[in-house]
Chains A and B, each alone.
Chain A
């Protein structure tokens, strides 16, 4: 069997993949930082975000009323406004200036103003006006107040209409068309149910990117202290190494995926009408693409911790590129194209449609196939990065290390702007898990 492996390139390649996979598995579970990213982050973030957004939307947004009319009608209107779930009248104040003061003190976020003669105009058959001034610091407050005002206006008007019917000798019913809104997807019409499915997908992708880059940073630190060679790495070809690692991450992510995309929505009662098998099939290329993307991005990770700085902010950019907040139909072509190159963009949209709107995988086939295309693109990128950048760097490192054993560390310290070499650098300080070297 062993001879077979040595002579048959395919078998050797497969065996290399297996070895890399095994070693990467070992790494992932013997590195505290990576466990935090791969598992703890995926466990904690969905819960945290769900708790933050669990209230979905704002109720009882505070308003003050400036009533220059003091008629039964203006008071009725205010009472009706107070009774809506969206708005809450906290105070009556005599003048607009007082109301402004309330707003500046953050006692209210809206001012409702009745002109003098409001009631009179209503009963004289003229048009009466109510004015709402709304603070625009947070959009949802405005939205809620606007909905409350529109609803009250409609009810108030239809009540008045009943009274005035006697004026007109025609059936007033004629010419009225009712209207109703049906919310698809996110029936609570809340912010949480809209944003969270996207965040769930993003958490998976970003935690994987961070974990992969941290593993690479650890490997690079080991090279620095071992003359450019990572003593723990399996010597395998470029493609075998990339595939083996991806396979490992992909397998580790089975549990976080099920937890994040299936259990967490169930637990917090977020939209979940999707076909479970379809979602899992969708996630397959998504995770693969993310893992290759991580291996392409690892050139930015020089040591274990700088990955934080280099990658964390991308989460936000990716959320916005996915179009969950600012829709993709309103993006300029530049950002559309940029978004197309991120796996989360496709996965977020497909997942949202499947989980919230009950779309089938077949209906989301574009996104699904684009994820496979991205998997290919990212693999090529990862291959190029590993072969033409990383491996060249390693060779250079080995070359310098041959001349001077301390050259690499000195160079690294120069890059880190550290002048003194500490007295005792031992390998335990640089990300080699305890006992691993003894095993070799």
Chain B
């Protein structure tokens, strides 16, 4: 008897899935198209050759050397010379350039006579990543120029060897190793979090939508009846096919990320492959929980959309969690995608032992169990549906 209901509900779930093309679009086409969009958009990895300007009021050998060095930097590319500060600023306001370097009058003279002139760089921080790149380019160039002048001066005294001069100028040198992302690739960092979060959003929406339509079209009684009045069977029949398809899509996405576009995968691939079905199930569990809390098509879907969209921000992908307000940070831990994000950094990016990510895997499993105690609310609603437009 139980087996019959089980088969019936699965059959019903599959038939609905196959007959509505919207599901196919949401479950397979859109996630993969979005993945390719993100991967392709940032396939360069690093922002390079940011267009910048230069204001050179000195026109000396030193200022020209600074300019040449700057233009040779990978980070920036000089697009235009401006005669004064205002002209350059206007170019920034027009959006022609993202910033400019300002070399003051009598730069060379002052530098050689020890008056310490100041080179300023004006960086448009309204655009964050090009600004960071420019800062790096300008800073390195001025330091190099500085070193070059000092080196010539001291070498001229003949007291120190070339190495001695360098040691004198930079007694302490810091070496910075950006672990597992030596190129500082923006794509590595962003795609690792945004693509799974996008998939999570689609899972939340599809789950809420598929349960919601039963409520809207008043077919929920028949839905539960087909599963022998068992909410668990009904949900299983409806959601198990989703789980399967989403997991396959997720694996496809992982294949695109880690194999086609070569994002770092430093762990045993099974760790990430295992995490995908857990992510799918956890998000389905979360959406189900939302539908149980607000057993109404509109409210349930709205909750899922709202949280799904905001999770891009409050899960700490760009602004780290310790920098956020306490309640925002706590909200991040409500979303399953947060745990997937943390474990993918541990596993895929850093490749540390599985042991350290154990809690994240466990949390994803907890999300699956979370809605069960509240299922009675959804069942009550299904047996007495009220559609609020």
A residues contacting B by CB (< 8 A) are 31-33, 36, 48-49, 51-55, 57-59, 61-62, 77, 104-105, 122, 125-143, 145-146, 149-150, 152-153, 156-157, 160-161, 164, 167-187, 189, 191-195, 197, 218, 271, 302, 304-306, 308-310, 312-313, 315-317, 320, 323-327, 329-332, 335, 349, 352-353, 356-360, 363-364, 413-418, 420, 422, 428-431, 433
Contacts and interface: CB of A to CB of B under 8 A. Distances in A.
29 contacts: A32-B389, A33-B298, A55-B323, A58-B322, A61-B320, A122-B171, A127-B172, A128-B172, A131-B174, A140-B320, A141-B320, A142-B184, A146-B176, A161-B168, A174-B111, A175-B150, A179-B119, A179-B139, A186-B124, A186-B126, A186-B128, A194-B128, A305-B216, A326-B41, A331-B41, A352-B126, A353-B93, A357-B92, A429-B389
Considering the complex of A and B, which 5 residue pairs feature the smallest CB-CB distances, nearest first? Answer: A173-B114, A185-B126, A175-B149, A359-B93, A417-B19
A125 B169 CA distance: 10
A155 B103 CA distance: 23
Interface residues of B, number: 133
Contacts of A327: 47, 50, 98, 127, 129-130
A187 B34 contact: no
Contact of B153 (A140, A156, A174, A429): A174
Nearest to A206: B309
A186 B350 CA distance: 33
Contact of B176 (A132, A175, A194): A132
A157 B150 CA distance: 14
B316 interface: yes
A313 B164 contact: no
Contacts of B297: 305
A131 to B, nearest CB: 5
A139 B212 CA distance: 39
A416 B118 contact: no
Contact of B16 (A352, A417, A433): A417
B153 to A, nearest CB: 5
Contact of B94 (A139, A330, A364): A364
Contacts of A429: 218, 387, 389
A353 B95 contact: yes
Contacts of B216: 305
B248 interface: no
Contact of A363 (B51, B90, B142, B186): B90
Interface stretch (B198-206, B365-373, B375-383): B198-206
A320 B36 CA distance: 13
A372 B180 CA distance: 46
B48 interface: yes
Given A174-B113, A194-B125, A315-B309, A184 B99 contact: yes
Given A55-B323, A58-B322, A161 B171 contact: yes
Chain A CB within 10 A, most for which of B107, B143, B168, B181? B168
Contacts of A157: 169-172
A189 B180 CA distance: 26
B126 A316 contact: no
Contacts of A143: 132
A138 B16 contact: no
Interface in B274-317: 297-298, 301-302, 305, 308-310, 312-314, 316-317
Nearest to A187: B125
B132 A181 contact: no
Contact of A125 (B111, B164, B313): B164
A58 B320 contact: yes
Contacts, number: 371
Nearest to A422: B218
Given A142-B184, A176-B116, A304-B389, 9 more contacts: A48-B310, A167-B159, A174-B114, A174-B153, A177-B118, A308-B305, A316-B34, A324-B127, A430-B389
Contact residues of A: prevailing secondary structure: mixed
B127 A138 contact: no
A193 B125 CA distance: 9
B171 A160 contact: yes
A183 B20 contact: no
Contacts of A330: 44, 47-49
A317 B37 contact: yes
A138 B50 CA distance: 22
B217 interface: yes
B172 A130 contact: yes
A416 B20 contact: yes
B389 A179 contact: no
B175 A129 contact: yes
A156 B172 contact: yes
A164 B320 CA distance: 41
Interface string B171-214: 11111111111001010111000100010011001100100110
Given A134-B178, A183-B123, A139 B170 contact: no
B40 interface: yes
Contacts of A414: 19
A352 B128 CA distance: 12
A54 B325 contact: yes
Contacts of A31: 389
B145 interface: yes
Contacts of A171: 114
A184 B125 contact: yes
